[in-house]
Structure 1
Amino acid sequence: AIEAMMGDGRALQCGTSHYLGQNFAKAFDVTYRNEANEQEYVYATSWGVSTRLVGAVVMAHGDDKGLRLPPRIAPVQVV
């Protein structure tokens, strides 16, 4: 997992990675030829960030008084 430390000392999990082994390779017949020219199933991983990044933005730019997003995220500022 990718952990982000927020300004207030709290941690937020922003992304994850998973080792999938050969499960999906066998299910979808994904193979390659090794150096000995033998066909083998690939080993796969899965990783990514998610909508948790939205939470990170809110945690970084919000407080008890409200939320103030930077102009690159919210080009129209409303008071």
Structure 2
Amino acid sequence: MAADRERRFEPATLLAGLLFLAIAAGFGLAAAGAWHPRPVLALPVLGVGLVLTGLVRAVTRSVRQRSRASGAGR
């Protein structure tokens, strides 16, 4: 990566990472015998989480495009 490029905060990436960590923690707790979730819940939770991540990504992109467009008009 070029040194002159700054890293941007990506909320969708953070949300996806937290989603996968939560699912992994649930499976870890189930393997340890500390929690007994229903396995059929994993797929809907994953689906809802990924849809939410996509919505956050779309909103972030829209906000950034609008701010670039308003900044270019100055």
More helix by share: 2
TM-score relative to the length of structure 1: 0.33
Q: Which has the higher contact order (CA 8 A, sep 6+)?
A: 2
Please report the TM-score for the alignment, with normalisation by the length of structure 2: 0.34
Q: Which has the larger radius of gyration?
A: 1
